[in-house]
């Protein structure tokens, strides 16, 4: 079982460049000699339904949710976004969102979506042909979609010169899942069973159009949950949402950051680490991961960058009244 290593206490020299409220402009963070840029694909909706304990009333009771992470009524806000990490030697993409034109009939607003992500990617100054590495924190549909694009005849790698890195534990889990038949969502007896069935059925499609073409092209590498990607970037095992889920740690010049992936879906879970989602594979393990991560981060200057967090997306975790909050 993967476990979270201790995060070193590092004095942060992090600088933030705010994203304007309008449009798809980028947000950037400087971590020593490394730059991290967010590329937003779309807004994330239905978060209160995904985190079932986060009812609008319960979310409103967390006094720092509004206005950045929830509206006045307690409806939670979020983003689907990718991150580009620029180190002195590597350009790395972390997670690739939902993708365009993918068959996702069980998720209406993502079914054959057209969000123009690649246009946004290029407008931010990045060239898909000049990406060295693609990291997927896990294999869910909204983190691997732009691994591939439709070239007119088949799903082809979007980043043709990159190595795509997947945690071996994650890959092995989904290989076992793919061997099982589709599940009957109507037969689910609990919301969590419904979420598990939904994800199981969708992932068969995800494997076919966003994972398998990468392996067929010879661009995939299976790595350990704590793999050192380059001098400044390493994977951090954060299991629970999926068995091989990883976050991405960046350290450079005395500063540090961690890109969460889905070990945290929304800042409300910082205040309420026990709040899980319908699609956590192991809710108890996911809650334990969050609690351990927040405890370590609260004693450091490591910047937490939330993969689904709306603007300002990043901040420091600090203890508050027996729990935690995000300061920014």
Domain spans of the chain, in order of start: 15-327
Bridge partners, residue 251, by sequence: 256
pLDDT along the chain (328 residues), means of 10: 31 34 68 99 96 98 97 98 99 99 94 96 98 99 98 98 99 92 90 91 95 99 99 99 99 99 99 98 98 98 99 97 95
For CA atoms 150, 152, 154, 160, the dihedral sign is negative
| Short-list 169, 163, 179, CA closest to 214 | 163
For CA atoms 189, 190, 194, 200, the dihedral sign is negative
Residue 229 · residue 235 · CB < 8 Å: yes
CA atoms within 13 A on the CB side of 126: 26
CA distance 120 to 26: 9
Q: Is beta strand 133-135 parallel, antiparallel or unpaired with respect to 163-167?
A: parallel
Q: From the CA atom positions of the chain, what is the Rg in Å? A: 18
Cα angle vertex 41, ends 38, 47, to 5°?
100
Residue 244 · residue 289 · CB < 8 Å: no
CA distance 141 to 203: 7
CATH topology of domain 15-327: Metallo-beta-lactamase; Chain A (3.60.15)
Looking at residue 96, its pLDDT comes to 99
Looking at residue 179, its pLDDT comes to 86
Helix (H) or strand (E) holding 141: helix 141-144
Looking at residue 178, its pLDDT comes to 87
| Short-list 148, 169, 172, CA closest to 159 | 148
212 class by beta-carbon count within 10 Å (0-12 exposed, 13-18 middle, 19+ buried): middle
Bridge partners, residue 309, by sequence: none
């Amino acid at each position: 079982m993967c476990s979270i290593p201790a995060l070193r206490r590092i004095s942060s020299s992090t600088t933030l460049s705010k994203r304007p409220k309008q449009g798809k402009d980028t947000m950037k963070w400087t971590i020593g000699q490394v730059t991290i840029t967010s590329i937003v694909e779309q807004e994330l909706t239905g978060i209160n339904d995904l985190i079932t304990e986060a009812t609008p009333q319960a979310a409103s009771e967390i006094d720092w949710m509004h206005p950045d992470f929830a509206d006045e009524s307690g409806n939670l806000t979020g983003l689907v976004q990718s991150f580009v990490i620029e180190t002195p030697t590597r350009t790395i993409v972390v997670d690739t969102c939902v993708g365009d034109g993918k068959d996702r009939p069980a998720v209406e607003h993502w079914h054959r979506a057209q969000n123009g992500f690649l246009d946004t990617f290029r407008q931010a100054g990045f060239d898909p042909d000049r990406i060295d590495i693609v990291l997927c924190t896990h294999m869910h549909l909204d983190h691997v979609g732009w691994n591939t694009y439709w070239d007119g005849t088949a799903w082809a790698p979007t980043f043709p010169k990159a190595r795509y890195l997947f945690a071996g534990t994650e890959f092995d889990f989904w290989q076992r899942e793919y061997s099982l038949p589709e599940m009957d969502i109507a037969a689910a007896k609990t919301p969590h069973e419904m979420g598990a069935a939904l994800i199981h059925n969708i992932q068969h499609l995800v494997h076919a159009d966003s994972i398998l073409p990468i392996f067929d092209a010879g661009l995939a590498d299976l790595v350990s949950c704590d793999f050192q990607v380059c001098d400044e970037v390493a994977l951090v095992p954060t299991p629970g949402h999926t068995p091989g889920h990883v976050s991405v740690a960046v350290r450079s010049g005395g500063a540090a950051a961690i890109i969460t992936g889905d070990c945290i879906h929304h800042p409300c879970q910082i205040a309420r680490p026990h709040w899980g989602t319908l699609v956590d594979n192991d809710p108890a393990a996911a809650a334990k991961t969050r609690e351990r991560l927040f405890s370590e981060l609260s004693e450091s200057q490591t910047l937490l960058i939330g993969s689904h967090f709306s603007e300002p997306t990043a901040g420091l975790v600090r203890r508050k009244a027996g729990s935690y909050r995000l300061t920014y």
